[in-house]
Amino acid sequence: MIAEPKVKIAFQAENFRRFHDLESQIGNTPLLRLRRVPQELSTGVEIFVKAEHMNPGGSVKDRAALAMILEGERSGRLYPGKVILDATSGNTGIAYAMLGAARGYAVMLCLPRNASEERKRILRIHGAEVIETDPLQGSDGAQTIAREMATRDGTKYFYADQYNNDANWRAHYDGTGREIWEQTERRVTHFVAGLGTCGTFTGVVRRLKESNPTVRAISMEPDSPIHGLEGLKHLPTSRMPGIFDPRLADETVEVATEEAQAMTRRLAREEGLFVGVSSGANVLAALSVARRLPPGSVVVTILCDGGERYFSERFWTE
């Protein structure tokens, strides 16, 4: 009788600590229904967006970065004194930098020089070191440099390697995909998402198809190798991420940068959602899929990051 309250208090204290950690605020993001943008659709077809820009680091990549760090610690590859190293187009880097600061790790990031100024500044504000790589080689070039550094100095770095790390897609299998299934009350019929490392698409689609094999998965890609959809890859001309699974997508939709930018403006003005360009591209692709669907269809896509990250871009005022 006397021992019981002690155990309870210890349990509550542990829970209390966990609840107040920055990391506990990652995931469980809201699922919002678009109300004005899909007005052209026939009644009974709905589009929902997973508001990943509401994660503490401001993007969908908080989930993957946390999962890769925890997996690194669990496997013994990451421990105090190691430097977290990876190639990133920005958002994973911001998540590593935020979590590294909170957990006491130094962070070293390779990213293409043309990544937005806002992103580079956030990285440095968190104390991360940034190596700027050839913009013409995009994220593939950044990956080559990070890999060379990891090979040269393996004892110094924990090379997270998000393009080939299963913890990346697993974060979305355990989190994003499960949440979408629950938040739509099992009604989701279609999932649409752009491909960067492919972590979001791979994890969510595996989870949803496991829950209901009739869920259709639509991947989205920029319509040309040179594009302005920061964070996304034009796969036919890029290095294939190791975690990409070609069997998962039932269909692929291509999106033009200017049209994605126009949709990003509409989301701000018609839905009150100030998000980045890949989110606009996702919604545009979701809308194009939803146009041909019968009543009862529930399309879900991702708002990947917030609009603040793109302040310096000119398309807002066009």
Active-site positions read 61, 278
User: Of 277-306, which residues contact ligand PMP (CB under 6 A)?
Assistant: 278, 304-305
d(CA 240, CA 105): 29
> Does 276 engage in binding with ligand PMP (CB under 6 A)?
yes
- Please give the Cα distance from 274 to 29 (Å, whole number): 16
Q: How far is the CB of 229 from ligand PMP (least distance, A)?
A: 8
Query: What's the closest the beta carbon of residue 158 comes to ligand PMP, in angstroms?
Result: 19
Tell me the C-alpha distance between 79 and 158, whole Å.
9
Out of 67, 69, 95, 198, name the contact with ligand PMP by CB under 6 A.
198
d(CA 80, CA 246): 37
Candidate residues 27, 231, 280, 307; the one interacting with ligand PMP per rule CB under 6 A = 231
Nearer to ligand PMP, 45 or 192 (CB): 192
What distances in angstroms separate CA 289 from CA 12, 208, 218, one per listed residue?
Answer: 47, 18, 8
Stretch of residues binding ligand PMP (CB under 6 A), selected from 34-42, 123-131, 152-160, 227-235? 227-235
Number of residues that bind ligand PMP (CB under 6 A): 20
The side-by-side arrangement of strands in the sheet containing 216-222 is 31-33, 46-51, 298-303, 190-194, 216-222, 251-255
How large is the C-alpha radius of gyration of the chain? 20
**C-beta of residue 95 within 8 angstroms of C-beta of residue 202:** no
* SS3 annotation, 241-293: CCCCCCCCCCEEEEECHHHHHHHHHHHHHHCCCCECHHHHHHHHHHHHHHCCC
Nearer CB in complex with ligand PMP: 72/203: 203
Which of 45, 67, 130, 195 forms a contact with ligand PMP (CB under 6 A)?
195
307 binds ligand PMP (CB under 6 A): no
Contact status: 230 vs ligand PMP (CB under 6 A): yes
Q: Kindly state whether residue 197 participates in binding ligand PMP, applying the rule CB under 6 A.
A: yes
Contact of 84 with 106, CB cutoff 8 Å:
yes
Q: Does 196 bind ligand PMP (CB under 6 A)?
A: yes
Measured at CB, which residue is nearest to ligand PMP?
231
Give the interface segment with ligand PMP, choosing from 8-16, 110-118, 149-157, 199-207 (CB under 6 A): 199-207
**Residues contributing to the site for ligand PMP (CB under 6 A):** 60-61, 89-91, 194-201, 230-232, 276, 278, 304-305
